[in-house]
Amino acid sequence: MSRVSEPASRETLRLIDFYQPITQSLAQVEQILRREMQSDFPAVDAMTRYGFRMGGKRLRPALLLLTAQTLGQVQSAHLVLAAVVEMIHTATLVHDDVLDGADVRRHRPTVNRQWGNRASILLGDYLFSHAFYLAATLDSALACRLIGRATNRVCEGEIRQNDSCGNWELSEDEYYSLIDAKTAELCACCCHLGAHYAGAGEDESRRWAHYGRLIGMAFQIVDDILDMEGREAETGKSLGTDLAQQKPTLPTIHAVQQTPPDDRPTLLELLKTGANARGALEPYFLKHGSLEYARQKALAFAQQATQIAASAPVSEAQRVLEQLPLALLKRTG
């Protein structure tokens, strides 16, 4: 695990503690990633190696492996699938950074910054297709089906989000439906795969998929908050991109809803000015408690997830799954 033992942000170091029960398995996943991301073609090789170091957190593989270990044993299929979900996640990050024009991620220049948009789009495609190829090396088509469906919902969510840009009147329910597809779906898929390949039945697999979904919802809301009030030095990525892209997030949706109709045009004008509005929005957020509101919502999702994990037989991995949702709320990057 040379990657995660490098100097890293506080948050990465904290996550390592949570990954203790699956350290060995995660190291094997890293090996698979390193092997799969090799290419005989120098142009491809340099980019994939760089790209796969962007994922950083390894949260999705960890969710998959921790679920597996909570319900049984980590199998070789789990290791392959953990690499697959990380590749898919990285593919979406690489394309996201192109879409957002982001310059920095994980404290390093983004792929688009380093190689340009053309190469980044192609790298994302390469990672997507490689992930599907790797998933298909398993015996049954079930993993491909679950991963294909999840990825498709992720992409659908991204298109819907893109379409909702500038729509500051987006309802809170529409917002939840969006982040459910865009972010929570892949986390749900991870836990589903972890449970299924550990021998869990359909109902139990679905319950753990729901766990993953809840943790994904909480995670995305925290991301929204960080984009608004985080510090680039801590998050290690470009901030204010949601505003720059005119993406409605939970804090902004709440502030708009809570602002009386008379004041709303002023707020909407402010939101339209993009990333520069971060400071000017503060009074609105403070007045209506919008960031606090978002934090409470994230907490509620995290608590539901914790309850699901608490119902499983006690083990080291199970305890992590119980603590992880609330711990993720406190991340600063």
Binders of a copy of itself among 86-115, rule CB under 8 A? 91-92, 95, 98-99
Count other C-beta atoms under 10 Å from residue 216's C-beta: 27
Residue 85 engages a copy of itself in binding (rule: CB under 8 A): no
Residue 270 engages a copy of itself in binding (rule: CB under 8 A): no
Rounded CA-CA distance 241/224 in Å is: 10
Cβ closest to a copy of itself, residue 142 vs residue 286? 142
Number of C-alpha atoms within 13 angstroms, CB side, residue 191?
26
116 Rama class: left (phi>0) / alpha (psi -120 to 50) / beta: left
Identify the residue among 30, 86, 97, 158 touching a copy of itself (CB under 8 A): 158
Contact yes or no for 215/325 (Cβ under 8 A): yes
Q: Which CA distances in Å does 14 have to 192, 196, 283?
A: 25, 28, 32
Residue 130 engages a copy of itself in binding (rule: CB under 8 A): yes
Q: Which CA distances in Å does 202 have to 72, 166, 199?
A: 15, 40, 9
Residue 129 engages a copy of itself in binding (rule: CB under 8 A): yes
Contact yes or no for 110/118 (Cβ under 8 A): no
Cβ closest to a copy of itself, residue 133 vs residue 287? 133
Q: Which CA distances in Å does 27 have to 22, 53, 214, 291?
A: 9, 14, 26, 37
Identify the residue among 14, 53, 160, 295 touching a copy of itself (CB under 8 A): 160
Count other C-beta atoms under 10 Å from residue 62's C-beta: 26
Cβ closest to a copy of itself, residue 164 vs residue 304? 164
Q: Where are the beta strands (DSSP E) in 73-121?
A: 104-105, 108-109
Residue 17 engages a copy of itself in binding (rule: CB under 8 A): no
Cβ closest to a copy of itself, residue 148 vs residue 240? 148
Identify the residue among 141, 233, 280, 286 touching a copy of itself (CB under 8 A): 141
Residue 133 engages a copy of itself in binding (rule: CB under 8 A): yes
Rounded CA-CA distance 200/210 in Å is: 14
Residue 76 engages a copy of itself in binding (rule: CB under 8 A): no
| Residue 55 Cβ vs a copy of itself, minimum distance, rounded to whole Å | 17
Residue 119 engages a copy of itself in binding (rule: CB under 8 A): yes
Rounded CA-CA distance 126/12 in Å is: 27
- Listed as own residue / partner, the contacts of 277-284 with beta carbons closer than 8 Å and 24 or more positions apart are 277/243, 278/228, 278/239, 278/240, 278/243, 281/228, 281/243, 281/252, 281/255, 284/255, 284/259
| Contact string (CB under 8 A) for a copy of itself, positions 20-59, x = contact | -------------------x-x-xx--x------------
Residue 274 engages a copy of itself in binding (rule: CB under 8 A): no
Cβ closest to a copy of itself, residue 34 vs residue 319? 34
| Residue 244 Cβ vs a copy of itself, minimum distance, rounded to whole Å | 13
Q: Which residues bind a copy of itself (CB under 8 A)?
A: 39, 41, 43-44, 47, 91-92, 95, 98-99, 118-119, 121-126, 128-130, 132-142, 144-145, 147-149, 151-152, 154-156, 158-160, 162-164
